């Protein structure tokens, strides 16, 4: 990973020295990162005040971040030959990694109207926390955004490296068909569930003395009632349980037929776009970026619509107006109000299926 830092602590040393070098960061209470390059991929350990807190794994277009990766990265550093460098990083940049996971990744290519500046502007407006990576045959660049604020940028090509605003300006050299990937970050911390402290049980209050209880008054005994005389001799009891059941069968009611359970049908939704005001999107800019960049067969609906669909999984079919069915994966979009009965499709999928704004589709298993 190309990091926006010129404050190197050491560069290009053997990864077998990891623990001795990490001790230096610990003693100095350094905010920084140790980056380890292996053949075909890179890994890193992020330090906060000298403590290793988060691990990073990057292999080409894939990026994984998590606190649970620290031990694996440290062990691999001393068991697998690699080259290691360390850099000081600003706290705002560290916050992109510390206790974070990659929530989702969206990738596309730059076009005539989608430039690095425009893409970064969308994500800043939406107050996203993310990493943007641009790459072509000649250069690679990274933009780091923390809660809608650009906190770093780096650019490297055959000519050299640049950082900060200079790097951001150099990204204007990227032309159409440049690969772009956005890694959205989310907090990995989970709220702790505290067990309520059991309250001590108070002893029951003493019962106040009361007036003496009078002895119960006995009711007068009733004379025994003689049974009525039988008009006819009683029927003979069945000799066994089987005979009892046979005797009862004529009186048993016939079971009612069980009505057939109707098969669940789909739900009809109207095709919409993230720019439509009627949707009430909480994060319109972010959804617009996803709609523009997403190349997979996915679709977005609001939370209540997603919960109300008669499906058992997120894999569904959408029935197009001409009767064709197309499989997609449903995802949730932050739409207010939570039930609008709309569906948002990626721009490329919408074009491929010849769907326009306002057209009705049916979603079913």
Which among 188, 210, 226 is the end of a domain?
Answer: 188
Supply the pLDDT for residue 305.
80
Domain-embedded: residue 183: yes
Winning range, highest mean pLDDT, from 54-58, 197-201, 328-332: 54-58
Domain-embedded: residue 228: no
Same domain, 54 and 85: yes
Q: In the structure, what pLDDT confidence band is assigned to residue 235 with cuts at 50, 70 and 90?
A: very low
Q: In the structure, what pLDDT confidence band is assigned to residue 364 with cuts at 50, 70 and 90?
A: confident
Greater model confidence, 204 or 339 = 339
Residue 212 has pLDDT above 80, yes or no: no
pLDDT digits (tens, 9 = 90+) for 294-310: 888 899 888 888 887 76
Domain-embedded: residue 216: no
Which among 72, 90, 108 is the end of a domain?
Answer: 90
Residue 90 has pLDDT above 70, yes or no: yes
Supply the pLDDT for residue 263.
43
Supply the pLDDT for residue 244.
52
Which among 188, 211, 230 is the end of a domain?
Answer: 188
Same domain, 65 and 106: no
Same domain, 53 and 118: no
Same domain, 86 and 117: no
Same domain, 113 and 34: no
Residue 268 has pLDDT above 60, yes or no: yes
Same domain, 356 and 288: yes
Domain-embedded: residue 8: yes
The Cα–Cα gap between 65 and 74 comes to 14
Same domain, 68 and 32: yes
Residue 14 has pLDDT above 70, yes or no: yes
Alpha-carbon torsion 76, 77, 80, 85, what sign? positive
Supply the pLDDT for residue 204.
55
Supply the pLDDT for residue 161.
92
CATH code, domain carrying 328: 2.40.40.20
The Cα–Cα gap between 290 and 288 comes to 5
Same domain, 117 and 62: no
Domain-embedded: residue 237: no
Half-sphere exposure of 42 (CA within 13 A, CB side): 18
Tell me the average pLDDT of the chain.
81
Domain-embedded: residue 256: no
Residue 339 domain boundaries? 267-364
Residue 4 has pLDDT above 50, yes or no: yes
The Cα–Cα gap between 330 and 349 comes to 13
Residue 156 has pLDDT above 80, yes or no: yes
Q: In the structure, what pLDDT confidence band is assigned to residue 252 with cuts at 50, 70 and 90?
A: very low
3-state SS track over the chain: CCCCCCCEEEEEEEHHHHHHHHHHHHHCCCCEEEEEEECCEEEEEEEECCEEEEEEEEECCEEEEEHHHHHHHHHHHHHCCCEEEEEECCHHHHCCCCCEEEEEEEEEECCCCCCHHHHHHHHHHCCCCEEEEEECCCEEEEEEEECCEEEEEEEEECCCEEEHHHHHHHHHHCCCCCEEEEEEEEECCCCCCCCCCCCCCCCCCCCCCCCCCCCCCCCCCCCCCCCCCCCCCCCCCCCCHHHHHHHHHHHCCCCCCCCCCCCCCCEEEEEECCCCHHHCECCHHHHHHHHHHCCCCEEEECHHHHHHCCCCCCEEEEECCCCCEEEEEEEECCECCCCCCEEECCHHHHHHCCCCCCCEEEEEC
Domain-embedded: residue 193: no
Same domain, 86 and 103: no
Counting the structural domains of the chain, the total is: 3
pLDDT digits (tens, 9 = 90+) for 93-145: 999 999 999 988 888 888 888 899 999 998 998 889 999 999 999 999 999 99
Q: In the structure, what pLDDT confidence band is assigned to residue 192 with cuts at 50, 70 and 90?
A: very low
Q: In the structure, what pLDDT confidence band is assigned to residue 30 with cuts at 50, 70 and 90?
A: very high
Domain-embedded: residue 207: no
Q: In the structure, what pLDDT confidence band is assigned to residue 270 with cuts at 50, 70 and 90?
A: confident
């Amino acid at each position: 990973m190309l990091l926006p830092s010129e404050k190197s602590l050491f560069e290009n040393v053997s990864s077998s020295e990891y623990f001795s070098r990490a001790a230096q960061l610990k003693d100095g209470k350094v905010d920084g990162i140790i980056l380890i390059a292996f053949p075909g991929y890179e890994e890193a350990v992020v330090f906060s005040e000298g403590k290793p807190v988060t691990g990073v794994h990057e292999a080409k277009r894939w990026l994984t971040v998590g606190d649970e990766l620290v031990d694996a990265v440290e062990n691999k550093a001393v068991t697998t030959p690699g080259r290691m460098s360390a850099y000081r990083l600003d706290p705002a940049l560290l916050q992109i990694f510390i206790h974070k996971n990659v929530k989702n990744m969206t990738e596309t290519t730059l076009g005539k109207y989608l430039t690095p500046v425009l893409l970064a502007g969308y994500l800043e407006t939406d107050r996203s926390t993310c990493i943007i990576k641009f790459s072509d045959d000649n250069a690679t660049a990274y933009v780091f955004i923390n809660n809608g604020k650009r906190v770093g940028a780096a650019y490297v090509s055959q000519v050299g490296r640049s950082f900060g605003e200079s790097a951001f300006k150099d990204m204007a050299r990227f032309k159409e068909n440049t690969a772009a990937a956005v890694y959205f970050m989310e907090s990995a911390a989970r709220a702790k569930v505290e067990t309520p402290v059991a309250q001590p049980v108070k002893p029951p209050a003493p019962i106040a003395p009361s007036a003496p209880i009078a002895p119960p008054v006995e009711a007068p005994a009733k004379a025994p009632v003689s049974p009525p005389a039988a008009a006819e001799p009683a029927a003979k009891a069945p000799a066994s349980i089987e005979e009892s059941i046979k005797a009862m069968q004529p009186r048993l009611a016939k079971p009612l037929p069980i009505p057939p359970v109707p098969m669940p049908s789909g739900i009809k939704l109207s095709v919409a776009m993230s720019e439509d005001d009627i949707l009430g999107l909480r994060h319109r800019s972010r959804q617009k970026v996803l709609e523009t960049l997403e190349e997979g067969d996915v679709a977005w609906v609001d939370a209540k619509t997603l919960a109300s669909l008669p499906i058992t999984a997120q894999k569904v079919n959408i029935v197009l107006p001409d009767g064709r069915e197309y499989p997609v994966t449903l995802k949730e979009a932050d739409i207010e109000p939570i039930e609008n009965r709309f569906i948002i499709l990626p721009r490329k999928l919408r074009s491929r299926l010849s769907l326009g704004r306002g057209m009705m589709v049916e979603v079913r298993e």
